[in-house]
Amino acid sequence: AAATTRVVDDIVSAALDRRSYRWVELDSGLRALLISDANSDKAAAALEVKTGHFDDPADVAGLAHFTEHMMFLGTESFPDERSFKDFIGRHGGSSNAFTGMESTGYHFGVNANALPEALGRFASFFAEPLLREDSARREMQAVHSEFQRNLQSDQRRIFQLLKSTCDPAHPFSKFSTGSLETLGGAAAAARGAPHELVRSFFETHYEPRRMTLCVLGQQPLDELEELVGKSFAGLARLVRSPLTAGAEALSAGPALEDASAGAFSAEAGSERALGDGLVQSGSGHGGAALAGPFTAAQRGGLLTMEPVREARMLRLLWEVEKEEAYVQSRATRLASAVLGSEVEGSLHWLLTRHLRPPLATSVSAGVSYSFSDSSLFSVAVSLTPEGL
């Protein structure tokens, strides 16, 4: 089992919360929040890796997302592609994953008594994935199908419109989903076969010190700690010392670094709080002071889009500081509550009930997109025909 190098038990929780909590860090650098709930009939775990599509090479768009898909398709200990999903299904559970801009998450839920084996199978994703060539060929089709579905999603179309019209030097501009063209076209092929690119991305970015785990189970905290140490012991072989940037890590293999990522590719900043706190400050993409995804010339612009489905929406976006800047003041939450309020005298009340005819059917506000260098705060108004 992996040794625990740090333990924190005095975690603040709500007065009526009967669960017990512990934060630990393993010698590999993996950090984990353990939650003991003796009365729960379900168990669950989630692991987030601090890498996302911002780390995609410029000419292999969607590689982070493709890698996420590939992680489920067999490990050295459990080589069958359906082994994990079948096990979870037999024990009353489910699993899923997502690829974000600067993080990738994996999670499952299962009947409480199945947690020990489920967690061991889950951990093998990150310690010994097979990432096979034949699996890659099939899974590229699954990624492409997802891309094609997104073409009919107005929310995804808005997302891509913002990305396509932002500062091309900012990683927000990257195409996130991937397709047969971006993952298997000539540019990607020049770097290597699809499964080789996935392997290189995994070896570069799936480092234990970039991983954070949360486990909930019926077991006491000491047992959960032992279970996590045993299940994730295999991560120790993935540790690189020091934690290197992508270009350095791939000096002996296919080069996945790209100049356009700039400060968002560097890894030096990711350890900025590993030695002195429980929360990382920023995503670790070099710590450079970036100005956000839009240039001065692009701010104040107007974008229009014809929807696939019948819809009328006005969306206003402001570039503000990264979310961490508002942790203490909760300014973005306060602004969201005020602007999204439905009480008499509010913007919602004015547009949906007071004016005749009504100009809107709903009003919402909040942080729409969050980056390590900035955030985009939005107010979205669903309009009536008269409001348009």
Residues linked to residue 319 through DSSP beta bridges, in sequence order: 376
Q: Reply yes or no on whether 321 is catalytic.
A: no
Q: CA-CA distance, 375 to 327, in Å (whole number)?
A: 13
15 CB burial (10 A radius; 0-12, 13-18, 19+) = exposed
H or E element that contains 221: helix 221-231
Please give the helix or strand (H or E) that residue 107 lies within, else none.
strand 104-111
* Beta-carbon contacts of residue 127 (< 8 Å; ≥ 6 apart): 75, 232, 234, 235, 237, 238
Give residue for tokens 């768009």: 61
Write the DSSP string, 36-91.
Answer: E-TT-SEEEEEEEES--GGGS-TTSTTHHHHHHHHTTS-BSSS-STTHHHHHHHHT
The catalytic residue among 68, 128, 207, 225 is 68
Rounded-to-integer distance, Cα 287 and Cα 284, Å: 6
d(CA 277, CA 8): 11
Please give the structure tokens belonging to residue 201: 């991305």
What does the buried/exposed string (b/e) look like for 249-263 if buried means 16 or more CB atoms within 10 Å of the residue's CB? bbeeebebbbeebeb
Please name the amino acid found at residue 353: R
Q: Which residues contact 386 (CB under 8 A, 6 or more apart)?
A: 357, 358, 359
Conformational region of residue 300, where left means phi above 0, alpha means psi within -120 to 50, and beta covers everything else: left
Q: Which residues are annotated as catalytic?
A: 68
